[in-house]
Amino acid sequence: MIRALKKRILAGVSLLAVTGLVVSGIPAQGAATPGVTKDTITLGMSSAQSGAASPGYNKVGPAMRAYFNYINEKGGVYGRKIELKLEDDKYVPTNAVNKVNKLILRDKVFALVGNLGTATHTAALKKTPIIKQSVPDLFVNTGYSGFANPKKYPTTFMYLPSYIMEAKIMAKYIKDKFPDKKVGILYQDDDFGKDGLAGFKAGGLTFVAGGTQKYASLSQATVGLTAQMTALKSSGAEVIILFGVTSATAVAMRTAAGLGYGTTWGPQFIMGSVGADPTTLLTLAGATTPALQAATLRSLTGALSLSFLPAATDTEDEYVKKFIEINTTYNKGVPWDNNVLVGMNQALLIVQALRAAGENPTRASLISALKSKGGTFASAGYSKLESANNVGYTGYWVGRYNSTGVIAPVDGGKPVVYTTDSSTANGDVAVSTFTRPAMPADGVPTNK
Amino acid sequence: MRLTLNKTRRNMALLLSVALIGAVLGFPTAATAADPTCTTAAAVTTCTGETSDTAKYEVRVPDDFNGTLLLWSHGYTYVAKIPAQIPLLGGAGNDLRATIAPGAPDSMVTANALLNQGYALAGSGFAVPGWNAESAVKTNVELLGIVKKKFPKIKRTVAWGSSLGGTITQRLAETNPKLIDAALPVMAFNNLDKVTGSNGGYGTDAVWLFKMFFDPTIKGFGYTAGPAGFGEAAVDFGKVLAAVVAIQGGLTKSGADTWPATATLVPAAVKAALPARSALLMVGLLSGMPMRSTSFDGVTGTPIDTSSIAAASASTSAATGFSLAVQPALAVAENMVNIAGFATFARFDLESQVGNKNFADNQKTNYAAKLSEEEAATYNVALSGESGIAGLLQLVAGFQAAAPLKGDADTLAKFKKLDTMTGQINVPTIAFNNVEETVEFQPMMSWMIEKANAQHAAEVAAAKAKKKKAPAKKFAAFWGQPLDEYTVFNADLTPKQQAFNAGTGHVQFTQTQWMDMVRLGDMAARLKKLPSAAILQLTRESDPNWYPAEDFDADTFESIGS
């Protein structure tokens, strides 16, 4: 009898102990905003920090962190320091799901920022609670137009102009400047490429017979692009669009050099913005042999590309100037380039969004602030950020690379920025009248 | 091999009717069973015996009994022994040994751990092999009567079981709620028709698509009655295995792609343009198969060679290519073999139970719609790009137009009657499943969650209408998951075959997870309600093999087009 009573007491104690543990270990539902304490705001990012797709893009996250550290030293956002948890998804969709789940469910971040890749982020949106928990999903690093869809992805905001916009602007430029030339294209056989083709079609650009070549994403790394580049050469295309990621551009250019580019073959290359960072292109080539690096530079010289930010080499630009200064101190040892510029500019936007969300930010107030005020934020972008509609930047300028891999506006002087939207119903493109806000004093936003 | 299927079926019909009567009247039918034989050793009393339907049972009660009885229901066992010469499955089947805990009787690790914690354990081998949910419920009802009579110190009972045992557990709770205090259905198999009936479905699509792509001589459906049909199932399993091995062999060694010689319906031009791995992955995606398996995490690349910059660059490309292009197909290959065992031998069993005719029909199945936009984007590389996707779907449409599955209507109607689980929640219930489970795939658990939520919403509405206090939820769900990365490689860079990784394969949980289940079930039985949301959440967050939230965004039958 006594033994039975003792057992009952022990069972009760055991239950109480577990309950006590729970009470002290888990905050009550809704008691606090995830990722926000009195001292910190924790953000999360999933990106390719290693693997074949990582070169160049793996500099974006650390650049964001460097800018946050700069802001933290200046007092943070309303006294809170910004912490960035950066996860390496290796550009593998299954892994992106793992990493985003970890960031939301275990690290309990306040918001996601700068996640990279169309396939990776599509998988994350499908298989993680981004939507269910209304996690702000800011400035995804892809131009896939499908992410600017508030009905389907209410908390997701783009950063890059869409690939459709880029293709429409490119189509207009080619039709204007190369009206009688035969045009060919190399594109990625996925949503990235589909978006681009839709934009070219809307812009009324047609391709020469045999001049539409594609490759399965990342097959360039193992299979190469010899068949496609040979076919483009055979098609007689005089203007060739390279509409792929940087590693594909690098392989295409090396292959072109091997096919006589610059000596017996001289098409005009035009590269999409996400695959055109010269530092990365040369680094990728140099990782193999100096001869290949030289071949890449030969192909790059005279090539055209589109950009939505200033050239990273434009040290007269006030944003570029300040970011280089921050990079030198807070991102030591990392060479300045376009990827670092992209990351720092994103971080500048994020700090303004956090400030606009108020002194006691919630996930809802952050999204609301971005929708209502995002278009007014200071940034290096040459076109308006259409965050009211979850869209990113809306314009591009066209530049040409010189023999040292430096890009400058194709018409000399200041860049002419073209603007459009993601509609595939028309190819309307106009010269932008957008006036870029000035860089906040000392690079530290004070907006509300 | 000796098969007495007709006799077995007649016996089953009799047992089913007895079970139904027992359920309706609500009392155990143990009167005809002999008393158990009991011995005590090492501070545990062990009793064995047979229920009136000849099911062998076992009960173990520790001296330091804590008052909670755990009634275990084991999973599906094939209706006959599979011939020894069949790889992987040879010797399995017709296993009616009494089973008191997961892994038992072959491994007593979990059973002994639970006995050490003071739990009493009981379970039978059931009276008949194969799909036996209703007969097994009857056996369990009788067994509980025997055990409670023999051990009056039992204060509460938790029913648990996995796979078909999960179905039996849930059915016990639905039909005899007064006999148990809590239920832990683990991967309860449900929705037979949606899984493999009138509109294709997982078990149908996986086999039919595999057959069309890789070996049209696979019979797959409409097996002959009796031992000959069981033999046909065995041959089919061997053919699936052979084709998988042919594809897998090249992939694991060199990333090279090999269409098996048996893939005679696929035109040579398609074989030249598209790798077999893309077709295999398409089979997995259109059927709703998990994209990770016991050996393949879908993430880990082949090892990087750091001996030189050039070697590192090349091996990094290869590693990413392996993760994106090869791993998903290897996972499908492994899962396909796992599923094929059930999809052949269990189909033979199910067809035997409904008249030895094919009930599966895919004439109206919209296969193109089964590939979601998200899947097409996620697996774009592995499917060989947009053009690969379009080509493969076109091929499937051609297969379907030329040789659709036509199910016999009367047989289908009988088949649907085998599906008795309603999802009604009568006792505190915590259901478990794994996100990469290959047999009881995600939609089965999603369906249970939807049913339980709808029931609770209706109960709350009814209480509100009567101005009564809203009833508490009686149902919670737990998802197990694998670790992020677990693929490992041999010295020659080929991936290692692994036997276990929690969250994958079929009913793979860690010992910690089994103990978590029992702890929560015991708590529910003691409290007469679910443990608090905070306790459930703490458990989910305590182990990386639990998904750390209840609302895992799982596939549903609707989302995969079943």
Q: Are B460 and B471 a contacting pair, CB within 8 Å?
A: yes
Q: What is the 8-class DSSP label of residue A443?
A: G
The closest CB to that of B378, out of A25, A99, A119, belongs to A119
- Give the best residue of B153, B254, B320 to mutate against chain A (max A CB count within 10 A): B320
What value does the CA radius of gyration of chain A take, rounded to a whole number of Å? 24
Rounded distance between C-alpha atoms, residue A21 and residue B533, angstroms:
13
Task: Report CB contact under 8 Å: A19, B535.
Answer: yes
Cis peptide before B105 (omega within 30 of 0): yes
Q: Given A22, A91, A193, which is nearest B535 (Cβ)? A: A22
In 3D space, the residue among A101, A104, A81 whose CA is nearest the CA of residue A34 turns out to be A104
Asked if A92's CB is within 8 angstroms of B323's CB, the reply is yes
Same structural domain, A403 and A383:
no
The order of strands in the sheet holding B120-124 is B37-41, B44-50, B56-62, B120-124, B68-73, B156-162, B182-186, B429-434, B475-480
Residue A305 to chain B, least CA–CA distance (Å): 25
What three-state secondary structure class fits A18? helix
ipTM summary value: 0.88
Contact B221, B232 (CB under 8 A): no
Q: Which residue of chain B is at minimal alpha-carbon distance from A48?
A: B320
The tokens describing A401, both together, are: 């690379």
The pLDDT tens digits of the residues spanning B316-371 come to: 888 888 999 999 999 999 999 999 999 999 999 999 999 999 999 999 999 999 99
Q: Which domain holds residue A352?
A: 40-161+313-394
CB A221 to CB B385 under 8 A?
no
Nearest CA-CA distance, residue A236 and chain B, Å: 24
DSSP 3-state of B218: coil
Ranges under pLDDT 70 in chain B? 1-32, 253-257
* Nearest-CA distance A250 → chain B (Å): 13
Confidence of residue A21 (pLDDT cuts 50, 70, 90): very low
Residues of A in contact with B381 (CB under 8 A): 119, 190, 216-219
Angle, CA B202 vertex, CA B201 and CA B206 arms, to 5°: 115
Place of tokens 């690096």: A293
Q: Which of A10, A49, A94 to mutate to test the interface with B (most CBs of B within 10 A)?
A: A94
CA proximity to B221, closest of B213, B333, B91, B209: B209
Name the residue among B299, B384, B533 with its Cβ closest to that of A95: B299
Buried b (16+ CB within 10 A) or exposed e, A145-165: bbbbeeeebebbbbbbbbbbb
The reply to whether A60 falls in a domain is yes
Enumerate residues 6+ apart whose C-beta is below 8 A from A113.
A43, A44, A45, A64, A84, A138, A139, A346, A350
Give the integer Cα–Cα distance in Å for B370 and B396. 12
**Which residue stretches of A219-289 are H helix?**
219-222, 226-235, 246-258, 278-286
Interchain pair A128, B532: CB under 8 A: no
Instruction: From chain B, pick out residues whose CB is under 8 angstroms from the CB of A218.
Output: 320-321, 324-325, 381
For residue B377, give the nearest of A53, A119, A288 by CB distance: A119
> How many beta-carbon contacts under 8 Å exist across A and B?
148
How many angstroms separate the CA of residue B519 from the nearest CA in chain A? Answer: 10
A389 and A401 belong to one structural domain: no
Q: Do residues A196 and A275 touch, judged by C-beta distance below 8 A?
A: no
Choose among B513, B532, B515: nearest CA to A22. B532
CB B382 within 8 A of CB B328: yes
Lowest-pLDDT range, A180-189, A206-215, B250-259?
B250-259
Contact A132 B386 (CB under 8 A): no
Separation in Å, CA of A102 to nearest CA in chain B: 9
The domain spanning residue A79 has which CATH number?
3.40.50.2300
Mean pLDDT of chain A: 90
Which among B235, B8, B33, B286 has a CA at the least distance from the CA of B127?
A: B8
CB spacing of A118 vs B377 below 8 angstroms: yes
Task: Please answer yes or no on whether B323 and A7 come within 8 Å at the CB atom.
Answer: no
Question: Does residue B121 contact residue B111 with C-beta atoms inside 8 Å?
Answer: yes
* Residues A207 and A303 grouped into a single domain: yes
Q: Please report the pLDDT score of residue B229 as a whole number.
A: 97
pLDDT score for B545: 98
Through-space distance between the first and last CA atoms of chain A, rounded to whole angstroms: 70
Say which of A123, A215, A289 has its CB closest to residue B374: A123
Contacts of B323 in chain A (CB under 8 A): 51, 90, 92, 95
Q: Do B323 and A25 touch (CB under 8 A)?
A: no
CA distance A287 to chain B (A): 6
* Nearest-angstrom CA–CA distance, A271 and B190: 53
Predicted local confidence at residue B256, as pLDDT: 63
Q: Does A49 fall in a domain?
A: yes
Number of domains forming the structure of chain A: 2
**Would you kindly state where each structural domain of chain B is located, as residue ranges?**
1-154, 171-191+421-551, 194-414
Lowest mean pLDDT among A155-169, A219-233, B472-486: A219-233
CA distances for B273 relative to A215, B290, B321, B326, angstroms:
13, 26, 18, 17
Mutation for B interface: A16, A19, A21, A22, most B CBs within 10 A: A22
CB atoms B321 and A221 under 8 Å: yes
Q: Which pLDDT does position B307 carry in this prediction?
A: 87
Q: Which residues contact A276 (CB under 8 A, 6 or more apart)?
A: A246, A249, A303, A305, A306, A307, A407
pLDDT in tens, A23-74: 333 333 345 899 999 999 999 999 999 988 888 899 999 999 999 999 999 9
Residues 358-397 of A with CB under 8 A from B: none
Q: What is the structure's pLDDT at A92?
A: 93
Residues of B in contact with A217 (CB under 8 A): 324, 380-381, 385
Write the DSSP symbol of residue B320. H
Taking the CA of residue B266 and the nearest CA in chain A, the distance in Å comes to 21
Cβ contact B294:B501 at 8 Å: yes
φ/ψ (deg, to 5) at B359: -110, -10
> Which of A92, A105, A293 would you mutate first to test chain B, the one with the most B CBs within 10 A?
A92
Q: What angle do CA A200, A201, A202 make, to 5 degrees?
A: 90
Q: Are residues A259 and A377 in the same domain?
A: no
Buried b (16+ CB within 10 A) or exposed e, B267-292: eeebeeebbbbbbbbbbbbbbbbbbb
3-state secondary structure of B322: helix
Q: Residues 6 or more apart from A231 whose CB is under 8 A from it?
A: A210, A211, A213
Q: Could you tell me if residue A340 is inside a domain? A: yes
